[in-house]
Amino acid sequence: MRTQVAIVGGGPAGLMLGRLLELRGIESVVIERRDREYVQQRVRAGVLEQATMDLMDEVGLGARMHAEGLVHGGVELRFDGEGHRIALSDLTGGRAITIYGQQEVVKDLIEARVASDLPLYFEVSDVSVDPAAPSVRFTHEGVDHVLECDVIAGCDGFHGVCRPTIADVLTVYEREYPFGWLGILAECEPSSDELIYAHHERGFALASMRSPTVTRMYLQCEPDEDVANWSDQAIWNELDRRFGMSVNRGDVFEKGVTPMRSFVVEPMQHERLYLAGDAAHIVPPTGAKGLNTAMADVYLLAHGIDAFYGGDDSRLAAYSSRALERVWRVQHFSWWMTSMLHRFAGDDDFQLKLQQSQLRYTVSSAAQATALAENYVGMPFIAE
């Protein structure tokens, strides 16, 4: 088999890269180890930055997002039992966020690729990549394949094969946080029209949503928390306590614990292999940056590949350094939000007072509120 760009990973990053290349007349093959149903039902992030929303429009796939997504012009920081709204749109010239699940983005991208009759292989196995003589080996439906190409895009996530292939040339920067998020999905109207980030001496809490009838709630917990120890009633009671108000309740149909980690590798490229999304970096979910940073990666990578086929390989050569500028800005914002809102093991009253002071300054200072808003709605994607 032969193509111009081999894309390893059929999640949002890989599929969006394929779409961007398609619109530029560049051939690609996408391979994914999971089946289509699993990929389309895999619930992950649900907050789209303004630039991600604009990108969905740019590639012609924004219609359902606009029809079903929930646009938010602000978020609430809640502490000491009181809520304080950060007016995102007012502070950023009209930019906003949209609640639209990652799985919905994936559905839109898969449907578009299938409609274009472009190669998309699910349930592949035995994947290996060769960055030097660029090629990808894999097995699909019992048949072994060798896919020769000019460029390999490693969009196969944190547990994929691409990053380990070049592990010897990578420097790893990592931080494990001493807590996780106990998350639930429940059949009930969200408790607020916008997201609520709550600071409490017992730990952080987040009120989010998936739709006007499905709410998403999180509680800070131990990283190895057993959800079996939490009854529905105990979860609702703890949410009430941390928010300092009664939240809407309903039937809980999903529970799980999300670990908290920061992870970056440098460089994000070696020879003809280019890493994007979770294959190269992970952020704690506090700042809602994972999906959006992956989209920024592939936007930059697609423009670099386009220039490469136009005879200019300087953009591809600079891909890692340019991508990492945004990655580290995102890492800092996510760390800052996490540190301000969570209670760390061993924290004393002194640390609690520092967090409360930072929160008060954030909601009372126009400059600090603007900094939060700009980072939260996200900076524009760069093309070079």
Catalytic site positions: 72, 197, 285, 289, 376
Query: Which residues, 6 or more positions from 55, have their beta carbon under 8 angstroms from its beta carbon?
Result: 16, 295, 299, 381
Which amino acid appears at position 93 of this protein? Answer: G
Task: Give the tokens for residue 364.
Answer: 């009372």
Q: DSSP readout, 192-228?
A: SSS-EEE--TT--EEEEEEETTEEEEEEEE-TT--GG
Task: Classify strands 151-154 and 5-8 as parallel, antiparallel or unpaired.
Answer: parallel
Task: Give the tokens for residue 22.
Answer: 């398609």
3-state secondary structure 89-131: HHHCCCCCEEECCHHHHHHHHHHHHHHCCCCEECCEEEEEEEC
d(C-alpha 346, C-alpha 348), whole Å: 6
d(C-alpha 33, C-alpha 126), whole Å: 9
